[in-house]
RNA sequence: GCCGGGGUAGCUCAGCCGGGUAGAGCGCCGGGCUGUUAACCCGGUGGUCGGAGGUUCAAAUCCUCCCCCCGGCGCCA
């Protein structure tokens, strides 16, 4: 049977009752009752009930219909009928069927534990929840890229294989690179800093890798990192970029993926405050004050932990910035505040509802001497940073940038419990299959 | 890396404390049902109890070591 196929949602939205259509997809549920067989046919757009009635089918062996099971792939030609007993109020009365593939008993029926589901992730991804999340993820990525391109930012492609440790070192994945060791990139930042000298405003979307054996619901070993870097941007300029981009992504998701958000049970009202910019800004000093008021024992100079971060997010109904961190808890490349040498011009953007950090950024140190001294202070080898230091020797400029964890953003927008569901094939703690 | 929980049938779990030769539900197979919505009813099928040692007449159960998974912390996006 060679027919022009229509999608499931078109059965409900485009065609009238009484039209004959050809739809194809996978059997989501199937019930055999009396003389009829009811199948829910799923494609990427939705689910529609198909009714197989022996008396209506043309030239089809009934036994081949009886053998159909969940996840069998079929094409069905038939007339659209209205019936209140069908999900969505419509069904297709099959007159012709093409069977592409039968399926053995499907291992997912509900109630399976997480380890098992992760082992059969390749099948789990067919679920409607996962499909909804993948669509939301698509829209968020699309929105972020769209915002950047429309606002004059150049997309660039930094390397994933790198020759030396950038920040710590212990959290890098080491790979063989011909006869030398190499590392999978943790961040494109240093390469983006190179490229602003020719393109001014650049961004990249790449996987970043962390070998840390994290044991939390907010960490992945491989995640999709959106990073930007802009010449002539100070910290406040780049924070504006961050809030405009994030609010745009939330707006677009609310406009285009409302159905999916609601299917996941996301309370969309909680996302609406995030449409309004500017986002609140507090300094690290103020964050410490708030935490002390809430009963936390924390000294100025300490980094706040997960519990503290969560408590902070409860103070706001939309994403908010924390700025001006103590120098000693932040990376060597962050620019020292000229008015307060003990803090740096760095910021985090934290999502509300306990989700926490989704962006980390800073104005970068642009003085050769200061950067060199920070490298020494951190116990790093300046030789490893020769090319990076060169950027400050040949026409240095003030510049800033940030990195956004796309799964973290997706997790908050979609209201997910665990970051592993914000990416189709999560990698962490040794999980590498499938 | 640290703390806590767990690994028994294809899946979800009970049995373990007080050792006595492995059980339920679901699935699957067979039968029944003229409209199902995680369908329902009747019958049947199903196990190297995570691995290796040890104690014992006897170990899923007690002891030792190891492996794997989940949740939290640290680290971060």
ipTM: 0.86
pLDDT in tens, chain A (434 residues): 556 899 999 999 999 999 999 999 999 999 888 788 999 999 999 999 999 998 888 878 888 898 899 999 999 999 999 999 899 999 999 999 999 998 888 988 888 888 888 888 999 999 999 999 999 999 999 999 999 999 999 999 999 998 876 555 458 888 889 998 888 999 999 999 999 999 999 999 999 998 887 788 899 999 999 999 999 999 999 999 999 999 999 999 999 999 999 999 999 999 999 999 999 999 999 999 999 999 888 889 988 888 999 999 999 999 999 999 999 889 899 999 999 999 999 999 999 999 999 999 999 999 999 999 998 888 888 888 899 999 999 999 999 999 999 999 999 999 998 999 999 999 987 788 88
Residue A343: count of CB within 10 angstroms of its CB: 20
- Which of A261-283 are b and which e, b meaning 16 or more Cβ less than 10 Å from the residue's Cβ? bebbebeeeebeebeeeebebbb
Whole-model pTM: value is 0.94
Find the Å distance, CA of residue A414 to C1' of nucleotide B28. 37
User: So what's the pLDDT on residue A165?
Assistant: 61
The secondary structure element, H or E, covering residue A343 is: strand A340-344
Q: How far apart are CA A431 and CA A434, in angstroms?
A: 8
* Cross-strand partners of A51: A38, A93
How would you class A141 by CB atoms within 10 Å of its CB: exposed for 0-12, middle for 13-18, buried for 19 or more? Answer: middle
- pLDDT at residue number A166: 58
- The strand pairing partners of A356, in sequence order, are A351
> Which pLDDT score is estimated for A127?
92
Class of domain A118-422: alpha beta
Please, which positions of strand B sit below 7 A from a protein CB? Answer: 1-3, 10-13, 25-29, 33-39, 68-77
Considering only residues 7-46 of protein chain A, which place a Cβ less than 7 A from any atom of strand B?
29, 31-36, 38
A408 touches strand B (CB under 7 A): yes
Domain boundaries, chain A: 8-101, 118-422
Å between A37 CA and B30 C1'? 19
Q: Distance (Å) from CA A161 to C1' B38?
A: 47
What pLDDT does residue A175 have? Answer: 87
- Please give residues of chain A from 243 to 302 whose alpha-adjacent beta carbon (CB) lies under 7 Å from any atom of strand B: none
Beta carbon of A54 within 7 Å of strand B?
Answer: no
Class of domain A8-101: mainly beta
Q: With beta carbons less than 8 A apart as the criterion, state whether A204 and A188 touch.
A: yes
Contact A248, A143 (CB under 8 A): yes
Instruction: Give pLDDT, residue A39.
Output: 93
* CA distance linking residue A96 with residue A220, whole number of Å: 47
- The per-residue DSSP string of A18-79 comes to T-EEEEEEEEEEEEEETTEEEEEEEETTEEEEEEEETTT-SS--HHHHHT--TT-EEEEEEE
Rounded-to-integer distance, Cα A389 and Cα A193, Å: 11
Strands A161-162 and A180-184: antiparallel
């Amino acid at each position: 049977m060679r027919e022009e196929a229509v999608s499931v949602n078109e059965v409900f939205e485009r065609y009238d009752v009484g039209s004959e259509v050809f739809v194809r997809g996978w059997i989501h549920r199937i019930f055999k009752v009396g003389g009829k067989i009811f199948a829910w046919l799923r494609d990427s757009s939705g689910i529609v009930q198909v009714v197989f009635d022996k008396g209506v089918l043309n030239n089809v062996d009934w036994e081949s219909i009886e053998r159909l099971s969940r996840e069998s792939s079929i094409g069905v030609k038939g007339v659209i009928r209205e019936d209140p007993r069908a999900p969505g109020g419509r069904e297709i009365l099959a007159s012709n069927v093409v069977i592409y593939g039968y399926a053995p008993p499907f291992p997912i029926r509900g109630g399976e534990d997480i380890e098992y589901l992760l082992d059969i992730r390749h099948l789990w991804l067919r679920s409607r929840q996962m499909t909804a999340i993948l669509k939301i993820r698509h829209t968020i990525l699309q929105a972020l890229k769209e915002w950047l391109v429309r606002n004059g930012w150049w997309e660039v492609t930094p390397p994933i294989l790198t020759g030396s440790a950038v920040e710590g070192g212990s959290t890098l994945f080491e790979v063989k690179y011909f006869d030398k060791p190499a590392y999978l990139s943790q961040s494109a930042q240093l390469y983006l800093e190179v490229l602003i000298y020719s393109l001014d405003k650049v961004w990249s979307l790449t996987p970043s890798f962390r070998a840390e054996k994290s044991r939390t619901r907010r960490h992945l070993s491989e995640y999709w990192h959106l990073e930007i870097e802009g010449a002539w941007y100070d910290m406040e300029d780049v924070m504006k970029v961050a809030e405009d981009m994030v609010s745009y992504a939330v707006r677009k998701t609310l406009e285009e993926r409302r159905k999916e958000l609601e299917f996941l049970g996301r309370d969309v009202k909680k996302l609406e405050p995030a449409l309004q910019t500017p986002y609140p800004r507090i300094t690290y000093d103020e964050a410490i004050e708030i935490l002390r008021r809430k009963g936390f024992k924390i000294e100025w100079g300490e980094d706040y932990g997960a519990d503290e971060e969560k408590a902070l997010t409860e103070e706001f109904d939309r994403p908010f910035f924390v700025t001006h961190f103590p120098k000693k808890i932040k990376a060597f490349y962050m620019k020292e505040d000229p008015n307060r040498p003990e803090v740096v011009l760095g910021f985090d953007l934290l999502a509300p509802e306990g989700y926490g950090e989704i962006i980390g950024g800073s104005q970068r140190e642009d003085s050769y001497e200061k950067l060199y001294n920070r490298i020494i202070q951190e116990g790093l080898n300046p030789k490893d940073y020769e090319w990076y230091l060169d950027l400050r020797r040949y026409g240095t400029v003030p510049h800033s940038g940030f990195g956004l964890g796309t799964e973290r953003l997706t997790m908050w927008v979609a209201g997910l419990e665990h970051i592993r569901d914000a990416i189709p094939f999560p990698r962490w703690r040794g999980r590498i299959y499938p």
